[in-house]
């Protein structure tokens, strides 16, 4: 029976390799672990990436936050989540050298393919990052698995590191999350550049230190006869695409007055300052 389980485990690895899991770049990359492959904790998310134009599979809130940081970065060119440490024989060998137990399937007790949470392309180099809550860094077992991972990447001369919630700027993440889905706003093409520019100019005219972003965009919708929410979605698009440069380290709250909300717009002669 044990032999059959081992065959089944090996067959699963081979099947995923044939599917292209862990292979490719950008739009063509397929993570080794998809959301449906892992028991759900309720925090798994599928996110449509700007840089890759594909669905990313993140398995925790912390992974999602880090993904948003990578999306926002101007120097990151590709993000490959759940990257497999293949061949499995290599990590088995490292574990044996360290005299520690290799990660196994909790049911079959057979070795599993280890993964790195994010393999990130930065210019012409790659960096590997493991994402873990700081509360788990005191676990000897977690440290053992990290050492396998670290040695795997060291053999490839790839920088490896750990990211915890301490490294994540919360306000920046909240702001990116708020604008993220409007990066590829479908109204941009249907409205056309003339109307998009009209929305932009009216919203800027309506802004003041005593005006909420929600009020300014709602007024623009009324002035242009647009469906309610169109202008606010367009503002999120402007910020997401960096057409509007704002301080992302301050909370952007549409329902509150835009105190010191500074918009820098390179393609217009004058910047608009709401504060």
Which regions of the chain carry the CATH code 1.10.10.10?
Answer: 173-274
Omega before 117 within 30 of 0, i.e. cis = no
**Residue 271 and residue 244: Cα distance in Å, rounded?**
10
Question: Any residues with CB less than 8 A from the CB of 24 and at least 6 apart, and which?
Answer: 30
242, pLDDT greater than 90:
yes
Question: According to the CATH classification, is domain 2-168 in 2.40.30.20?
Answer: no
pTM across the whole model:
0.90
Q: What percentage of the chain exceeds 90 in pLDDT? A: 79
Name the CATH topology of 173-274. Arc Repressor Mutant, subunit A (1.10.10)
pLDDT of 122-150, one tens digit each? Answer: 989 999 999 999 999 999 999 999 999 99
Chain centroid to Cα 163, Å, comes to: 13
Which regions of the chain carry the CATH code 3.40.1350.10?
Answer: 2-168
For residue 117 the two structure tokens come to 């949470």
234, pLDDT greater than 60:
yes
**Residue 83 and residue 178: Cα distance in Å, rounded?**
27
């Amino acid at each position: 029976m044990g032999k059959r389980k081992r065959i089944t485990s090996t067959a699963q690895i081979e099947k995923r390799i044939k599917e292209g899991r862990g292979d490719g770049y950008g739009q063509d990359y397929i993570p080794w672990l998809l959301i449906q492959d892992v028991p759900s904790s309720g925090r798994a998310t599928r996110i449509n990436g700007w840089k890759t134009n594909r669905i990313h599979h993140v398995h925790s809130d912390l992974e999602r936050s880090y993904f948003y940081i990578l999306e926002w970065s101007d120097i990151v060119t590709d993000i490959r989540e759940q990257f497999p440490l293949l061949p499995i024989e290599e990590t088995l060998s490292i574990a044996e050298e360290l005299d520690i137990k290799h990660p196994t399937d909790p049911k079959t007790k057979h070795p599993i393919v280890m993964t790195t949470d994010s393999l990130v392309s930065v210019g012409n180099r790659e960096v590997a990052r493991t994402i873990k809550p700081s509360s788990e860094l005191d676990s000897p077992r977690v440290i053992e698995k990290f050492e396998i991972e670290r040695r795997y990447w060291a053999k490839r001369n790839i920088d490896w590191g750990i990211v915890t919630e301490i490294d994540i700027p919360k306000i920046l993440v909240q702001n990116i999350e708020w604008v993220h889905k409007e990066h590829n706003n479908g109204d941009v093409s249907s409205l056309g550049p003339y109307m998009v520019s009209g929305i932009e100019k009216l919203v800027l005219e309506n802004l003041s230190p005593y005006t909420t972003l929600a009020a300014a965009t709602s007024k623009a919708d009324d002035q242009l006869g647009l469906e309610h929410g169109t202008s606010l979605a367009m503002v999120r698009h402007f910020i997401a695409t960096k057409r509007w440069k704002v301080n992302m380290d301050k909370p952007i709250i549409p329902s509150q007055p835009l105190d010191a909300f500074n918009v820098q717009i390179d393609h217009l002669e004058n910047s608009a300052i709401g504060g």
